[in-house]
Copies of this chain bind each other. A is one copy, B any other.
Amino acid sequence: MSFLHKEEHVDDNMVILQANLDDMNPEWTSYIMDKLFAQGANDVFWIPIIMKRGRPGVMLNVLVDASLAASMEEVMFAETTTLGIRSIRASCHRLAREIETVETVWGPIEVKVGYHRGNLVQYAPEFKECEEAAKRSGVPLKTVYDEVRRVFMERKADCAAD
């Protein structure tokens, strides 16, 4: 049903790599992000910070398995302007995840579902598929999200009622 890690687990072998950037062209951020995700980063995000002399810099954060840290640093040194990278050890507690598909008037749309100790705690319509449906149909994106969530909730209620 999915390429995702299906079992809930704790991964103790993660690192957060950080680089504070106060002299980089912000135009490069989407490219850098794409490249880090492509090479196996679990997450990439930016934090607006205030640096030396009050410079409005950004901190690049890369969450990744420790075994991939070296290749992430390779990208970070090549593509950003940093002279150093910090590394912090982290554990990640990840929910069991499944992809379910719901039927809508705009066709099938996937929902990412998260289970904690066997209980459904999260369900999130897939952005790309909802966006696609909104573009095709001309309906507002929020309407697509609402409908996907409604159909998903109803199905769960039906299952529970059986």
* A106 close to chain B: CB less than 8 A: no
A45 in contact with B57 (CB, 8 Å): yes
A31 to B154, CA, bound (A): 26
A94 to B86, CA, bound (A): 9
A80 to B25, CA, bound (A): 12
Q: Give the residue name and chain of the B residue nearest to A26 (CB).
A: B55
Q: Give the residue name and chain of the B residue nearest to A35 (CB).
A: B141
Which residues of chain A from 145 to 159 have a CB within 8 Å of any chain B CB? Answer: 145-146, 149-150, 153-154
B112 in contact with A83 (CB, 8 Å): yes
B81 in contact with A140 (CB, 8 Å): no
* A28 close to chain B: CB less than 8 A: yes
- Residues of B near A58 (CB, < 8 A) are 50, 56
* A48 close to chain B: CB less than 8 A: yes
A51 in contact with B45 (CB, 8 Å): yes
Question: What are some 27 contacts across the A-B interface (CB < 8 A)?
Answer: A16-B86, A20-B43, A22-B27, A23-B25, A23-B26, A23-B27, A25-B142, A28-B141, A28-B142, A30-B55, A31-B131, A43-B51, A45-B59, A47-B48, A47-B49, A49-B61, A50-B56, A53-B54, A77-B95, A77-B121, A78-B116, A78-B140, A79-B141, A81-B124, A83-B114, A85-B92, A150-B150
Beyond A83-B114, A87-B90, A149-B150, 13 extra complex contacts between A and B, CB < 8 Å = A14-B86, A28-B145, A44-B52, A47-B47, A47-B50, A63-B86, A78-B121, A81-B124, A86-B90, A88-B89, A89-B89, A146-B149, A146-B153
